[in-house]
């Protein structure tokens, strides 16, 4: 890293602290969730937020759009939502000279930050409309490709307890989410503070912290953060231990895991560890950084078998045992 990159990490760390202060005006607690979303954005990834109703999933994403000063679109996923409702559609338009031609009307996916609210409430055909956008940062309609404006990232929410009328996301689509973040209930003190803030007459407003071009600059900076060979080897070893067919896998992995994590997990562990180190003002990630991001990266990439279900073994328990 050269001098400008070192200075850039200092600026990023300072900006992250400012962002944390601004978000705390609206969001009480949930510090790890906020940190994971920032890491996702800096790593050019996408994030899936899972939590019961009322935990401010939508409010968190909306507040981020204000703090990052980006074009924001909210797509409410419902069973009757069509792919054209996301990507856009062609209409037969009359020109000023009297001629007629097809005109493409861009859908809500043409924004910087997309909130895919309750993404599991729409059929797989509609879910797939976001696949090209998330992977290639472009969409194709009627044979024409349209490049999406950078930065571009999708923050999707999912309700884990309402199963009626839902369509579980296929494993291949889940794998394209960098992070799977669980939102838990607030503590008693946090809930008291939430009630105070939301039932009073005065509501705080979030001021923009990151400009659009700054985000793309910091995304490039995160890619430049060096990682030691020792940390890379440690990362790959951890991912290999999640694969039951691997000779390095512990017995409990062979007993409870049907499919382990693929190479994308190693990539995302490394990228997210880089981003975590950068926002904390450090110039290279350590093993501890890999441990801190591991659950969010791995929990949706490990497929449990029937033995795990019979023994009530949770995927987070297995990840913790691998590190232990």
Q: Along the 324 residues of the chain, how does pLDDT read in single tens digits?
A: 678 888 889 999 999 999 988 888 888 888 888 899 999 999 999 999 988 877 888 888 888 888 888 888 889 988 888 888 888 887 777 666 666 677 778 888 898 889 988 888 888 888 888 888 888 888 887 778 888 888 899 998 887 766 666 787 877 788 889 999 988 888 899 889 888 888 877 777 888 888 888 899 999 999 999 999 999 999 999 999 999 998 888 899 899 999 899 899 999 999 999 999 999 999 999 999 999 999 999 999 999 989 988 988 899 999 999 988
Whether residue 249 contacts residue 242, with contact meaning beta carbons closer than 8 Å, is answered with yes
SS3 303: strand
CA dihedral 117, 123, 125, 126 (to 10 degrees): -20
Q: Which helix (H) or strand (E) holds 126?
A: helix 124-127
Q: Rounded to the nearest 10 degrees, what angle do helices 287-298 and 229-240 cross at?
A: 30
SS3 311: coil
Domain with CATH 1.10.8.80 in the chain: 225-324
State the Cα angle at 197 between 194 and 203, rounded to 5°: 140
Q: Which fold has domain 225-324?
A: Helicase, Ruva Protein; domain 3 (1.10.8)
Q: Which fold has domain 1-224?
A: Rossmann fold (3.40.50)
State the Cα angle at 48 between 250 and 192, rounded to 5°: 105
Whether residue 232 contacts residue 260, with contact meaning beta carbons closer than 8 Å, is answered with no
Domain with CATH 3.40.50.300 in the chain: 1-224
181 phi and psi angles, rounded to 5 deg: -110, 125
């Amino acid at each position: 890293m050269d001098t400008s990159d070192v200075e850039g990490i200092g600026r990023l760390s300072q900006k992250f602290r400012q962002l944390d202060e601004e978000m705390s005006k609206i969001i009480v607690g949930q510090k790890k969730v906020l940190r994971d979303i920032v890491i996702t954005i800096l790593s050019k990834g996408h994030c899936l937020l899972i939590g019961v109703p009322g935990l401010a999933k939508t409010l968190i994403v909306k507040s981020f759009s204000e703090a990052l000063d980006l074009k924001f679109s909210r797509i409410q996923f419902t069973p009757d939502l069509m792919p054209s409702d996301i990507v856009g559609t062609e209409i037969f338009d009359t020109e000023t000279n009297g001629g007629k031609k097809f005109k493409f009307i861009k859908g809500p996916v043409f924004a910087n930050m997309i909130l895919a609210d309750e993404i599991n409430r729409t059929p797989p055909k509609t879910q797939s409309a976001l696949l090209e956008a998330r992977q290639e940062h472009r969409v194709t309609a009627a044979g024409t490709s349209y490049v999406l404006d950078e930065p571009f990232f999708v923050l999707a929410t999912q309700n884990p307890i309402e199963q009626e009328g839902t369509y579980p996301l296929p494993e291949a689509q889940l794998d394209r989410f960098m992070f799977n973040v669980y939102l838990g209930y607030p503590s008693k003190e946090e809930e008291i503070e939430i009630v105070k803030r939301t039932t009073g007459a005065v509501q705080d407003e979030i001021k923009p912290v990151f400009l659009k071009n700054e985000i793309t600059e910091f995304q490039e900076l995160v890619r430049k953060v060096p990682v030691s060979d020792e940390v890379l080897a440690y990362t790959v070893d951890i991912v290999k231990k999640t694969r039951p067919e691997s000779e390095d896998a512990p017995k409990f992995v062979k007993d409870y895991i049907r499919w382990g994590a693929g190479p994308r997990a190693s990539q995302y562990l490394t990228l997210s560890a880089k981003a975590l180190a950068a926002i904390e003002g450090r110039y290279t990630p350590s093993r501890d950084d890999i441990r801190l991001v591991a659950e969010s990266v791995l929990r949706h990439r490990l497929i449990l078998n029937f033995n795990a279900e019979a023994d009530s073994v949770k995927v987070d328990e297995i990840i913790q045992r691998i590190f232990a």
